[in-house]
Chains A and B, each alone.
Chain A
Amino acid sequence: MQFGIFTVGDVTVDPTTGREPTEHERIKAMVAIALKAEEIGMDVFATGEHHNPPFVPSSPTTMLGYIAARTERIILSTSTTLITTNDPVKIAEDYAMLQHLADGRVDLMMGRGNTGPVYPWFGQDIRQGIPLAIENYALLHELWRKEVVDWEGRFRTPLQSFTSTPRPLDGVPPFVWHGSIRSPEIAEQAAYYGDGFFANNIFWPRDHFVRLINLYRDRFEHYGHGTREQAIVGVGGQIFMRRNSQEAVREFRPYFDNAPVYGHGPSLEEFTDQTPLTVGSPQEVIDKTLTFRDSFGDYQRQLFLMDHAGLPLKTVLEQLDLFGEEVLPVLRAEFAARRPAEVPDGPTHAALVARRDAAAVPADAVPQTS
């Protein structure tokens, strides 16, 4: 099981002080948070990609490349990479370059993006969102696996004898997740390729995501990538912790009440009842996170949203320290104890290389163990 954080990269006023960080401060804060995530023993740091204020991360590989140079171990990922409005050729090049620089510590999550104007700004049409996601990813998939690509599609200039460089590290492309909040087509796409499926799981009730994940698992098995239990599932979550529950609720309430997405709507209590948000003690975070497994089955990656709604950097870093001390070791042990042997662990470059090499060995050369 891999644990990590995903950040939206919003610049939001701190409602308790009225202070808004500058873009520069926010960008540096995102880096500080990534470094802290590695320091406390997390496995993944993922950044969003946005092309409109109040969000800063328009250029994920620049940021992740910088973080790669300052870390040793953590996997750098995205949440999400816009497969609809980015040129798939540029994604292939940028992320292969990042993969080399980070010595394989890179994967990425495809998403469509739900900000309407971004599509026309990048010359696309939001009504073609699903077809764009399907065609662009088909091209990206091919660019990373075929040395020389001839291509003709509906949405971009044809390619004749094109080679995307650099080639993926060790000939193994970065692992890909497909994220979706509501579209069964994307769960189907992830299953078809045997890629991972990520359920954002933060803003909506859990039963909705259970259905998407079950669909993905069924189709993963249908396409012959393994059993439905072996499908690669990632899940989001959202937490705010203090050592005692009352303190957490008291401190987080003004941030919740004014949060960009759900602020000025339901109460903190209603929202924590109806969605996976947890505000409370480390033990409450542990208890609620373990229930995700009951809903979604054994899964491979748990990402938390911890740095939004104007929370100051200092608070976020304290949250991460507390998480590293009291939550992470327990969750690691509990999830590991529950996971059956045949369910794969979270994807890493080393595991993908090993799997590729195992598949390449002739069948008669494999030692018989049973």
Chain B
Amino acid sequence: MAAPLKLVVVSAGLGKPSSTRLLGDRLAEATRRSLDEREVAVEAHTIELRDLAVDIAHNLVTGFPPPGLRAAIDTVVSADALIVVSPIFSASYSGLFKSFFDVLDNTALIGKPVLIAATGGTARHSLALEHALRPLFAYLRATVVPTSVYVATDEWGAAAGEGVEGVGTRIARAGGELADLVAGSPPHPVTRPSSATDTVDEVVPFAEQLAALGRG
């Protein structure tokens, strides 16, 4: 039997408990259900950025990740699929969420299947997903599924309205899209450099470097 697919949730929620974490868990569960139907085994991990906040700040200052953050980065980079969830603060993702992706190497997520999601006080902020998170992951050249999931506070207690899908339906659709994407991609993508201190192993022979300058 093939190794289980590695599904990693990155949650930037700050509360304990956190509705952002809750949304991440529900999206992971929906993705797992959808992969179960295809008889694809899943191993899920969750990374709470709250626990890494100080490490992330240290990495910004020193240029290298302390051990705890290093492990989290390795988990994210080796994932087969990512679910990333941020609270919306001041019209965009939170600073903590952005800082985590800032300390990854900008090639670390190329081709990675990603589901983007966010929580916020009211539905008025929902397009931050499309205006902030989607361009961020487009820049990183990740493959983002079409459905993004935003959940406002009051939606946790609301049924589907007229012409409006309920939270559960959106979560199930997004999880299904991520499952489709990941089940169709080769398992365990090629390892790429995961942080600024991790770009050592590839070497271009010197003759090629000279030839590129017309000096071969």
Contacts and interface: CB of A to CB of B under 8 A. Distances in A.
Contacts of A192: 206
B162 interface: no
B203 A184 contact: yes
Given A134-B210, A208-B198, A274-B67, A203 B203 contact: no
Chain B, interface size category, equals: 20 to 34
A361 to B, nearest CB: 30
B58 A205 contact: no
Interface in A106-161: 130-131, 134-135, 138, 153-154
A185 B209 contact: yes
A265 to B, nearest CB: 3
Nearest to A213: B200
Contacts of B64: 203-205, 208, 274-275
Contacts of A208: 64, 197-198, 200
Nearest to A155: B213
Q: For the complex, would chain A's binding face be called helix, strand, loop or mixed by DSSP majority? A: helix
Contacts, number: 79
B58 A270 contact: yes
Contacts of A191: 206
Interface in B173-216: 196-206, 209-210, 212-215
A138 B214 contact: no
A356 interface: no
B205 A215 contact: no
A308 interface: no
A204 B209 CA distance: 27
A186 to B, nearest CB: 10
Nearest to A265: B61
Given A138-B210, A153-B213, A265-B57, A184 B205 contact: no
B66 A182 contact: no
9 contacts: A135-B215, A182-B196, A182-B197, A184-B203, A189-B209, A212-B200, A215-B201, A262-B62, A270-B66
